Amino acid sequence: MRSDPSPRFGLPLPAVLLLVAIPVAWAFRYWFVCDDAFITFRYVRNFLRGDGLVWNVGEYVEGYTNFLWALEIGGLWALGWRPESASVWLSLGWTVVLGLTIAALAARTLPADHDGTRRQRAGLVAIALLLWGTNRSVAVWASSGLEMRQFTALCTLGLLWAHGDRSHRGSIAAGTAYGLAALTRPEALLFGPAVMVVWAWRAWRDGALRMGNALRLGVPFGLLVGSHLLWRRSYYGEWLPNTYYAKNVRDWWDAGAAFVGYISLEHALYLTVPLALLGAWRRAQDEDTLGWFAAAWMGPYLLHLVKIGGDHFEFRMFDVVWPVLYVFAADGIGALADRVRTALPAARRTLARGLITATCVVYGLALPLAHDQGAFEVRSMVYRLKVPITTERSPWLWAVPGAPLLVWPHQQLGDWLANHAIAARQRTHALFAEMMLDRYGAFRAVEDEVLFAPTAVTKASSIGVIGFYLDDLALIDILGLTDHTIARHDDVGPNAQRRMGHDRRPPRGYLDQRGYNLVVKPTVSSRASALRKAPHAFELVPGTWVPIVARGGAQAVDLVVGRDVVTRD
């Protein structure tokens, strides 16, 4: 048997890095910091100032779902690296880690050929990385400032170690990876135990189930998760984050089905899923258990995603699915190509693999790139971004056989989802963050100054940028992510009227009860402009004015303590 070019990755490391560089380079086209990322940044700022991991000082509400990510951002900020930059570069670094993990997963776990020799790994490792790296969604979530790529990398590392390394060190590493993943996003509370059940079943099947090995896998996970749960309960008074209550309204099966249909068309899952099933079946034929490990968490996870109606962000929650899907799809492509029988079988099998892979890549890129052509023509914020794919804008798409037939259902599903704020496109989030930074980013120049009185209270529906830069102002999130009462208010309309993640509203009279008394409008360049927009204003820095409105009987001069307030004549 020929030795592998790299025992760990199945390919020489430079070749692996070259393939991993595809999504890394592509990420810069979609480089952005999402408004929601600034929610975590505000929590971190309050923590570093000694006020606790809180949104409003004195209010203990867990309005984030990324505890470990917040700690990492805080550590980097304490070293001088601001979160607006550190978060996106950290996510890009985890993209490289994930790419290397996918290569290792594909290289270590390929089934044996039927003649008893190991299949040549290099080609299928390259296919798995190519399918993953040319997925537009992978490039999108390589930045954003959110924690998703770290979560995906930790879950994939846990799968790699749980399945492929049966040593004591591998068990400890797998349990630790899933424990850290659970501290990054709560979905790993399902993933970790599901993988452990399959691990125990495999060990029992092989007659190798030992209490010591099971403890090495379960104890690190249990200690990390258990200590975090106990801390959350003692610190916030809840077992679950407040965001769970804010977002978990009711079942929404039709939206979930539309969400899955949309991503299936856009990312050519009608090709890759059958190939992945073939690859999983081939592994099962060779008594490989990777399929059981994957199915144990992926089935319940996807069912839950459909049940709740999908996700507000475009395809973010599929980020953790892509690595395993494409490893299996690469195996399926190899199994399909192995059926080619000619006078030159080796060369023809290689050609068949290349053609099948190219077909998956072309159809996986066709609709995303056509959509991008229209999306990047949009220059101003559109809340319900709907981009028609036309022959005038994307004539090349009509040269891809069968692709035009997908345009109409893709458009219909996309428009329906946009109306319900589901799968909101990256361009929407990028433009919204740019708009909010343009309106409130000037406050960064005075972020270490006290501008507002402790009694000043405002409200907002999109709280990220405004909450981060108006950092000493109490802010009520009227959608409930960071507000205990609003998150549990059940006055939500029927599903036909819902907007994903934007369903909760304050109970009647609640804002007045909380002391809502100030509206801070976007900054303008002159006193005259400010006083046209509001009855009061103050100069933030030379050449930048802030229009404000006092309400509920409050006096503007009492709500602003760091600047002189001027009043319209």
Q: At what angle do helices 345-375 and 253-266 cross, to 10 degrees?
A: 120
Q: What is residue 285's predicted lDDT score, i.e. its pLDDT?
A: 85
Q: What is residue 167's predicted lDDT score, i.e. its pLDDT?
A: 64
Q: What is residue 123's predicted lDDT score, i.e. its pLDDT?
A: 87
Q: What is residue 342's predicted lDDT score, i.e. its pLDDT?
A: 56
Q: Specify the long-range contacts of residues 162-166, CB closer than 8 Å, at least 24 apart.
A: 162/195, 162/196, 162/198, 162/199, 162/217, 162/293, 163/109, 163/289, 163/290, 163/293, 164/104, 164/105, 164/108, 164/109, 166/208
Q: Residue 432 domain-assigned?
A: no
Q: What is residue 384's predicted lDDT score, i.e. its pLDDT?
A: 81
Same domain for 241 and 120, yes or no, is: yes
3-state secondary structure 511-569: HHHHCCCEEECCCECCHHHHHHHCCEEEEEECCEEEEEEECCCCCHHHHECCCCEEECC
Q: Residue 489 domain-assigned?
A: no
Q: What is residue 381's predicted lDDT score, i.e. its pLDDT?
A: 78
Q: Residue 187 domain-assigned?
A: yes
Same domain for 393 and 530, yes or no, is: no
Residue where a domain terminates, one of 374, 392, 419? 419
What type of residue is 323? P
Same domain for 403 and 529, yes or no, is: no
Residue where a domain terminates, one of 403, 419, 435? 419
Determine the Cα–Cα distance for residues 489 and 49; give it in Å rounded to an integer: 31
Q: Residue 463 domain-assigned?
A: no
List C-alpha distances in Å: 443 to 49, 175, 235, 446: 18, 43, 30, 6
Determine the Cα–Cα distance for residues 329 and 333; give it in Å rounded to an integer: 6
Please give the residue range of the domain that contains residue 191: 13-419
Q: Three-state DSSP class for 118?
A: strand
Residue where a domain terminates, one of 419, 446, 480? 419
Q: Residue 493 domain-assigned?
A: no
Summarised one tens digit per residue, pLDDT across range 50-85 is: 999 999 999 999 999 999 999 999 999 999 999 999
Q: What is residue 169's predicted lDDT score, i.e. its pLDDT?
A: 79
Same domain for 409 and 521, yes or no, is: no
How many domains are contained in the chain?
Answer: 2
Determine the Cα–Cα distance for residues 517 and 474; give it in Å rounded to an integer: 10
Contact call for residues 231 and 469 (beta carbons, < 8 A): no
Same domain for 414 and 522, yes or no, is: no
Same domain for 392 and 539, yes or no, is: no
Give the tokens for residue 282.
């081939």
Same domain for 84 and 222, yes or no, is: yes
Q: Residue 477 domain-assigned?
A: no
Q: Residue 7 domain-assigned?
A: no
Q: What is the pTM of this model?
A: 0.94
Q: Residue 345 domain-assigned?
A: yes
Summarised one tens digit per residue, pLDDT across range 442-460 is: 999 999 899 999 999 999 9
- Low-confidence spans in the chain with pLDDT less than 50: 1-6, 111-119
List C-alpha distances in Å: 404 to 100, 171, 362, 367, 450: 35, 49, 13, 9, 57
Same domain for 175 and 59, yes or no, is: yes
The alpha carbon dihedral of 414, 416, 419, 423 has a sign of: negative
Q: Which residues, other chains included, contact 369 with Cβ-Cβ below 8 Å and sequence gap of 6+?
A: 136, 394
